[in-house]
């Protein structure tokens, strides 16, 4: 039996065990329409967690090839501060409701979040976390 002999439901169960970033990176644009469609299921494209990604070539491929295809469906990002600009400028995200930024420094806050109201919220979130290196910034 081959992988492609399995029904879509079984393939989805297998793919759900993998990291959604890996699924998208590995299965989109592999010249297989069936895998391409499966990779674009909501469970893989709604919440994109780049928190364990250190590979700039992977981020680059996401920004150039993958995000432009799925941008309308993205609801949540979790990402390193160093990748924020590339990812957020790759496209518009009309359904984005949550942005979690990890591993950021104080100067990052003043560079990207300048409104007085927003800075107050960030300051509160920042003070509540004792370890700056592992701080998380989240907005709904």
pLDDT tens, residue by residue, 50-96 = 988 989 999 999 999 999 999 999 999 999 888 988 999 999 999 99
Residue 115 pLDDT level (bands cut at 50, 70, 90): low
CB 128 within 8 A of CB 102: no
Residue 129 has pLDDT above 90, yes or no: no
| Other residues' Cβ atoms within 10 Å of the Cβ of residue 83 | 21
pLDDT at 50: 93
In this predicted structure, what is the pLDDT of residue 59? 95
The per-residue pLDDT for 11 is: 92
| Maximum average pLDDT range among 1-5, 9-13, 120-124 | 9-13
User: Which residues have CB under 8 Å from 112's CB, separation 6+?
Assistant: 84
Model pTM score = 0.74
Residues 9-51 pLDDT 10s: 999 999 999 999 999 999 988 888 888 899 999 999 999 999 8
Backbone angles phi, psi at 138, to 5 degrees: -135, 140
71 compared with 139, residue with greater pLDDT: 71
Determine the average pLDDT of the residues in 99-122.
66
Phi, psi of 76 (to 5 degrees): -150, 140
């Amino acid at each position: 039996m081959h992988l492609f002999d399995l029904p879509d439901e079984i393939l989805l169960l297998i793919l759900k065990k993998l990291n959604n970033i890996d699924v998208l990176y590995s299965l989109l644009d592999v010249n297989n329409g069936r895998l391409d469609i499966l990779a674009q299921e909501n469970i893989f494209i709604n919440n994109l967690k780049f928190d364990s990604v250190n590979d700039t070539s992977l981020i680059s491929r996401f920004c150039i090839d993958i995000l432009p295809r799925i941008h309308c469906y993205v609801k949540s990002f979790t990402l390193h501060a160093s990748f924020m600009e590339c990812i957020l400028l790759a496209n518009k995200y009309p359904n984005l409701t949550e942005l979690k930024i990890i591993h950021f420094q104080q100067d990052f806050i003043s560079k990207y979040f300048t409104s007085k109201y927003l800075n107050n919220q960030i300051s509160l979130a920042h003070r509540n976390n004792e370890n700056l290196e592992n701080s998380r910034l989240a907005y709904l």
